[in-house]
């Protein structure tokens, strides 16, 4: 048996959208189960996101600390953001987020991993990139507002972040996935063997 996720779509007999927000919505589907029964499933419809694990030459990761109201925490995270335009190239979005949130650019980009953050209740797909060869971006810093106005930036050794993840001290999905994926990649075929930055992404198709 091949251990690999596969696309599949069960029959939907009815759909409603009881809530539409600024960026996301809630959808209710009536789904036919394998035994023929029909059940109702509510889930958040999400445009998708990108995240960037930016690793510098001293093996430090660029992280930021931001207030997240739903969980009532300030979380240490890696730069991330929404795919604002349907069909947007995720690499372009990742470059933009690294610039806007950290005023940093990178020479080398790879796809680190692709994840569904909470597939039981949301269709959000996230592509996590590895960025290396970091340097300061040119031009003016991006003007931040709201929660981002209170954001803190730091560069933290990769091993220290890994310790914090396993100790239950760091909880952001993209940070946890990114840190552990880098360590796994190093223990395997190495970082240069990761997928190219514009590798296909069936969850959020795009034009290269």
Catalytic residue among 9, 100, 148, 152, which? 148
- Residue 173 contacts residue 115 (beta carbons within 8 Å): yes
31 three-state secondary structure: strand
CA-based max dimension of the chain: 60
- Residue 67 contacts residue 147 (beta carbons within 8 Å): yes
Q: Is 148 a catalytic residue?
A: yes
Q: What Å distances lie between residue 36 and 7, 9, 93, 101, CA to CA?
A: 20, 15, 42, 48
Partners of 40 in the β-ladder: 30
124 burial type by CB count under 10 A (0-12 exposed, 13-18 middle, 19+ buried): buried
Phi, psi of 24 (to 5 degrees): -130, 170
- Cα separation, 155 vs 167, in Å, equals 19
Rg, Å, the chain Cα set: 19
Residue numbers annotated as active site: 148
């Amino acid at each position: 048996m091949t251990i690999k996720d596969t696309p599949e779509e069960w029959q939907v007999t009815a759909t409603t959208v009881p809530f539409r927000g600024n960026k996301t919505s809630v959808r209710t589907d009536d789904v036919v189960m394998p035994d023929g029964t029909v059940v109702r499933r509510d889930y958040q419809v999400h445009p998708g996101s990108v995240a960037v694990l930016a690793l510098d030459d001293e093996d430090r990761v660029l992280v930021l600390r931001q207030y997240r109201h739903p969980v009532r925490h300030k979380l240490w995270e890696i730069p991330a953001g929404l795919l604002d335009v349907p069909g947007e190239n995720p690499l372009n979005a990742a470059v933009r987020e690294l610039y806007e949130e950290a005023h940093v650019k990178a020479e080398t980009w790879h796809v680190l991993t692709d994840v569904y953050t909470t597939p039981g209740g949301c269709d959000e797909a996230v592509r996590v990139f590895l960025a290396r060869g970091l340097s300061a971006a040119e031009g003016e810093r991006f003007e931040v507002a709201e929660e981002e106005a209170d954001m803190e930036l730091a560069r933290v050794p990769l091993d220290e972040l890994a310790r914090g993840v396993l100790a239950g001290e760091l909880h952001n999905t993209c940070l946890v996935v990114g840190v552990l994926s880098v360590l796994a990649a190093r223990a395997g075929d190495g970082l240069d063997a990761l997928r190219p930055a514009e590798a296909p992404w069936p969850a959020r198709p795009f034009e290269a």
